[in-house]
Chain A
Amino acid sequence: KAGVTQTPRYLIKTRGQQVTLSCSPISGHRSVSWYQQTPGQGLQFLFEYFSETQRNKGNFPGRFSGRQFSNSRSEMNVSTLELGDSALYLCASSSRTSDGTGELFFGEGSRLTVL
C-alpha cells in the first residue's frame, strides 16, 4: 500500500506570493489533516478534512485554506506569503475508528521557504 504522498517536497517563494501544496492520502483513508511545523511553535494543527468537508480548523489566519476532493486528495493554499510562513507543512491521513482518532500516517512534508 502506498504511503501518504506530498508534493512538492521543497519550494522557495517570495513574500506576497501564494503557494499550493498537495497531499495524496493512503488509499481508503477519508480523513486528511494538515500541520505546520516550525522550530519555535512545534506542530500546529491547520485543518482536517473528511469526505470533502472541513471538520476542524486550527487557529490560523484566513490566508491559509484547504480543500479535499472526491478521491480524498487534499490541497492547502497559503496566499500573500509572509516570512513567518516558512515551515515544514505536514499532511497526515487516517481511517477513523469508533473510539476516536486513530493512528495518523504522515507524509514526508513540504518544506516551504519564504524569502
Chain B
Amino acid sequence: SQQGEEDPQALSIQEGENATMNCSYKTSINNLQWYRQNSGRGLVHLILIRSNEREKHSGRLRVTLDTSKKSSSLLITASRAADTASYFCATDLTGYSTLTFGKGTMLLVSP
C-alpha cells in the first residue's frame, strides 16, 4: 500500500493563484520530500524537509510538516502555466534506505 497519500488527486487553478497540495503518511519518517513530474518524464526533486523541521521555503515553494498529524503540505505561490505537472510526496521511512511515493496530485494551471 502507498505510504504517502496526496490530496487532492487533481487541482485546476488560474495563473497567479496559489496551489496547495497535502500529503498524509502512516509511519515514522526521517524526512519527507516533494517531487514534480512533467507528463511522461522523470521526476525532479523540489524540496526536502527533515522530521525535526516544521517549515521550509524554496523560491515560490513553501512546505510544512506536522509529524504529530503525519501530514505535510506543499504551497506554490503565484502559480504559472509552467507549473502544470504532477506533484508527489515521498517519505523516507525510518529503517529503510529508499523513498516511498504517493500517487500524486495533478496540477493544471490555466493562463
Contact, CB under 8 Å: A102 / B40: no
**Which A positions have Cβ atoms within 8 angstroms of B?**
4, 31, 33, 35, 42-43, 45, 48, 50, 55-56, 88, 90, 92, 96, 99-109, 111
Partner of B98 from A101, A103, A111 at Cβ < 8 Å: A101
Contact, CB under 8 Å: A33 / B98: yes
Known contacts A88-B40, A107-B42, A108-B42; A50 and B101 CB within 8 A of each other:
no
- Is B88 in contact with chain A by the CB < 8 A criterion? yes
Q: Which residue of B lies closest to A103 (CB)?
A: B45
- A93–B43 Cα distance when bound, in Å, is 12
**Binary interface encoding of chain B residues 67-111 relative to chain A, with 1 for a CB under 8 A from any of its CBs, else 0:** 000000000000000000000101010101111111110000000
A-B contact number at CB 8 A: 67
Within the complex, what minimum Cβ distance (angstroms) separates A76 from chain B? 14
Q: Which residues of B sit under 8 angstroms from A42, Cβ to Cβ?
A: 2, 101-104
Within the complex, what minimum Cβ distance (angstroms) separates B21 from chain A? 15
Within the complex, what minimum Cβ distance (angstroms) separates A92 from chain B? 8
Q: Which residues of B sit under 8 angstroms from A90, Cβ to Cβ?
A: 42-43
Q: List 14 A-B contacts (CB under 8 A).
A: A31-B97, A42-B103, A42-B104, A43-B88, A45-B100, A45-B101, A100-B31, A103-B33, A103-B45, A104-B33, A104-B35, A104-B43, A106-B42, A109-B40
Contact, CB under 8 Å: A101 / B31: yes
Contact, CB under 8 Å: A96 / B97: yes
